[in-house]
Amino acid sequence: QHLFQQGEGTRTDILEAESRYELATAEEIQALDEQDASLRELGALLGVQSVDIADLAPLNQNFAAFTLAPANYDSWHELAITNNPTLASQRQAVEVARYEVERNRAGHLPRITAYASSRQ
């Protein structure tokens, strides 16, 4: 508005600046809402009523991360695929379907019926 009053700015510049300010305010409100939702979710995971952002202090100098025991991605990927319960259930469903196909195929094969008797 100061530039507009001195004749160096336009009304469009004022409106663009106001819209950028309003957009920044809206993004700040959205970020605060997301932070609140994340803190509530963290509290639910931890089993506490509420978590304050001040409780989440940054890591101190004594923090040491442990090394992972397979250190490469391929090992972790293989572990995830072999131990995934959803994939294990799908593998079992494939096996059941395979046996079902075999059972249905066997129903169309020729049958032999044999009767035997013996007397003394």
What is the structure's pLDDT at 48? 83
What is the structure's pLDDT at 60? 76
pLDDT tens, N- to C-terminus, the chain (120 residues): 766 777 777 778 888 888 999 999 999 999 999 999 998 898 888 888 888 888 777 777 787 888 878 888 999 899 889 899 999 999 999 999 999 999 888 888 788 888 999 998
Write out the DSSP string of the chain: -HHHHTTSS-HHHHHHHHHHHHHHHHHHHHHHHHHHHHHHHHHHHHT-S---GGGSPPP-TT--PPPPSS-SHHHHHHHHHHH-HHHHHHHHHHHHHHHHHHHHHHTTS-----------
What is the structure's pLDDT at 2? 67
What is the structure's pLDDT at 108? 81
What is the structure's pLDDT at 35? 92
The amino acid occupying position 42 is: L
Predicted TM-score (pTM) of this structure: 0.42
